[in-house]
Amino acid sequence: MNRREWLVAAGAVFAASGAHAGPKTSDTHAHDAPNANLIDAAADCEKKAQACLTHCLAMLSTGDTSMAVCAATARDTIASAQALQALAAADSKHLKSMARTCAEICRDCDAECRKHQDKMQVCRERGLGPSIAVFEPGFLRVVRAYYDAGALPAGTLVKFYFSAGGYLGGGEPLWGAPPIVEALDLYLAMLGDARISWAVAVLGGSLLDTPIARAALERGGHLRVGIEDDDQGPPNVEQVTEAAQLSASVGRPLASPDTVCTLLGIPA
């Protein structure tokens, strides 16, 4: 059971239990309060809903409205989870009714979210590793939420896209992070101890001319190169050859197809 499911269940049980909600006469410290678990669950639910909302808004910004309803339910979940935390912390007499409302909102959010889970389900059933593009830190929060919930299919490859000039119309990029080591380290700090394979790419420039190419290899990552990302660069064969030479120079020789499958944990 993930935290959202726990919160729905806990809210429903609390609402039906007639649990005490009112002034306390004991000197129990806050961290020993009977509502502590509910507060923690609501806070975790709020965090995951924030990640979901960030992802939905990023898609909406590109003109993709497929997640519009999901964005609305995530917004409602955030608001209700915040209210539940506040009332639980105060042991308010309105906590019971708020728990009922929050449980209902979480069920709506869960139902809407499940409409989009088929893609991950297909990957799991067919032994496919999804390739996930991360353009902003919020995208990685969603990936990490899937991972923490045990819902990320085996073989997932996360690609950190950094922005350079001259992509899709040129000019200075107004999205993402520049291809600097500090930005890469931010993503890796967010990834934490999650066992997820990752790669770096630069849109609108040459990855191999940036410090993150070598830094990624030294940190256990992989490289994505080619004229799709660097359309003003040399042919693909030259970019791949240079990437192979860089990999060899840091003791990371190219992997065979079978080795790649082993690394990703998917059938060869």
Separation CA 261–CA 268 (nearest Å):
5
What confidence tens digit (pLDDT) does each residue in 95-140 have? 999 999 999 999 999 899 888 777 788 888 888 899 999 988 988 9
**Which spans in the chain are helix H?**
3-17, 36-61, 68-90, 95-114, 118-126, 137-148, 181-191, 211-218, 236-249, 257-264
**pLDDT over 50 (residue 143):** yes
So what's the pLDDT on residue 23? 40
So what's the pLDDT on residue 28? 42
Give the mean pLDDT of 51-77.
Answer: 83
Angle at 150 between CA 144 and CA 152, to 5 degrees: 60
In the chain, the percentage of residues whose pLDDT exceeds 70 is 85
So what's the pLDDT on residue 49? 87
Q: 198: part of which helix (H) or strand (E)?
A: strand 197-203
Write the single-letter amino acid at 168: L
So what's the pLDDT on residue 42? 92
So what's the pLDDT on residue 251? 96
So what's the pLDDT on residue 51? 76
Q: Which long-range contacts (CB under 8 A, 24 or more apart) does 62-68 make?
A: 67/116
Q: Band of the pLDDT at 29, cuts 50, 70, 90?
A: very low
What confidence tens digit (pLDDT) does each residue in 146-202 have? 899 898 999 999 999 999 976 655 678 878 899 999 999 999 999 999 999 999 999
Separation CA 39–CA 172 (nearest Å):
44
| Residue with token string 């073989």 | 155
- Mapped onto helix, strand or coil, the DSSP state of residue 131 is strand
What confidence tens digit (pLDDT) does each residue in 236-256 have? 999 999 999 999 999 999 999
Instruction: Name, in order, each residue with C-beta under 8 angstroms of 105's C-beta and a sequence gap of 6 or more.
Output: 73, 76, 77, 80
What the chain holds in terms of domains, given with CATH numbers, is 3-114 (no CATH), 118-264 (3.20.20.70)
Give the mean pLDDT of 71-87.
Answer: 94
**pLDDT over 70 (residue 38):** yes
**pLDDT over 80 (residue 10):** no
| Residue with token string 């002034």 | 23
User: pTM of this prediction?
Assistant: 0.65
**pLDDT over 90 (residue 34):** no
So what's the pLDDT on residue 1? 38
What confidence tens digit (pLDDT) does each residue in 214-240 have? 999 999 999 999 998 998 899 999 999
